[in-house]
Structure 1
Amino acid sequence: MEDIAQSSPPELQDSETILLKKPEERLRLLVIIMGFVAMAVACFSIFILYETAIEEERLRLVDTAQSQARLIESVARFDRQHYPSNSFATAFEATLSQVREAHEQFQGFGKTGEFTLAKRDEDQIVFLLNHRHFDLNDPKPVHFRATEAEPMRRALRGESGTVIGEDYRGKMVLAAYEPVSELNLGIVAKIDLKEIQRPFIQAGAWAIIATLLLVAIGSWLFQRVTEPVVRQLETRNRELNDALSTIKTITGIVPLCAWCSKKIKDESGDWVKLTTYFDGHTDAKLSHGMCPECAEKLKGSISEKQ
């Protein structure tokens, strides 16, 4: 005979599993998830804005470096036309003096942005304009194979483009480099990477602080609103646990005597009375009564004897 008494139905077991979890832990987990998602969205947005700013700054530096290089080449061609063909040095110095004069009137852009102009002298990179930083009035040369001045090294190789690398100070910069072919020079327009990053780092810090504050306020309000519901769930949880603790079940196939239907074979293989078996496997208390069919049979038997 299958399942004389079934265990709790699946939906009841699922409810039990859910209710047995502490509401405080679920609320804490929800707050952590909310905070993580909010900070992830804020950081991702700031990262996208940072990448956009880098790209815009890159394009601006490229335009600036190329326009300055073409301007210097135009001045150099003009000076060559007004000097004898055998006096290249004089034409070069004339062009360089004009560039230096114009450079003295320009203090750079931003807090760290500047132009650098240099030539290659054997294994040295020799800078021809005063720097805005470091060795201001007496620019020191850099060895051509050193790690510093990477943008200028590429320009003097005849390359054109942008790079994030070390400048003549060893500082990381975003730079656009361009060769000045008329004079065999290189020009670089650059800005410190930290100057670009600084506003986004500050915005990220403020975004994290604001996110944590808003999540804290939101979780407090959420706790105040859901507190009655949590209390009700706790009460229902206790009631359900009390109910489940009083339930004993009979499961599986239990052999019942096919002849008398008054004995059951228990786990040890013994045939015991139904009342004995139920006492050991349930909290139900059996009492005696008589079904209508048996009552009719008994009544008929008594009538026959009379």
Structure 2
Amino acid sequence: MVMIDNNENDNTAMQSIYLNVLYAKKNSSSNKISSRIHFHPFTEFYFIIDGNGKFSIEDKMIDVKKDDFLIINSNVGHSIYSSKDDENLIYVSFGVDSIFVKSVDNNENLEEDKYYYNSIDEMKDYFLNSFNDINNEFNSKDPYSKSMANAKASEFVITLLRNLSDEFKITNDIKINKQIDYIKNFIDNNYSEDIRLENLSKMAYMNKFHLISEFKQNYRVTPIEYLILKRIEVTKNLLISTNHSMEEISSIVGFNSQSYFNQVFKKKVGITPSQFRKNHRI
């Protein structure tokens, strides 16, 4: 559990913070295997050790390289893969619960508070050492290793807040409504079906306007926008890993029209499905 005490008279003053690390690992992602879109009920910190790659964060595509640093807020859909056929994207990451990273310049619009990205220069050794220490402690069998990982993560985040206080701050995380979580899981498992907002609202026992508001508060997109993002991410994997035609893929992921499928994919990814396949196939 994270403990945060705020001074109500000074919104930038963080009196205390202690993080609970839920996982820590060193990993790699190649162009051969693009991770599917996934959501976590916790906030993730990433540091790129080597390689070049891409983070697909909902409707944005971010090019990343060695010494880049990212924070992805909880319940924000993302996937990771390398940019080149012969190269792995190597990174260290860890997840902590109950915090939300918020831009200092953005007081109202949660839509923009999905992630934080920066390219580290002067502090890159500190970043690498901190991520490795957190990872090593969390996965160690030494006594009190989990507590040490929590302490090191807390120290790291406090150092960030001190050095980057003009860029972001940390608040308590948004809690997920169980009904909304059920709707999200239903879409995950049935994205290829003809899912309509009216049917989802009946399943959640909410009117559709309330459902849209609650879903967007929890996942920062509407249910239908999330459905499209899910289909796009599955499409990416099919384009990379199969020889299915565009017509077959559009049908598999649930689009009734290939032209609409092409239009939506280009709008969200920035290139057509054919271009994406050409760029990422081996």
Does TM, normalized by the shorter one, top 0.5?
Answer: no
Shorter chain as denominator, the TM-score bin is under 0.3
Normalised by the length of structure 2, the TM-score is 0.17
Q: Which has the higher strand share?
A: 2
Normalised by the length of structure 1, the TM-score is 0.16
Give the structure with higher Rg (CA).
Answer: 1
Q: Which has the higher helix share?
A: 1
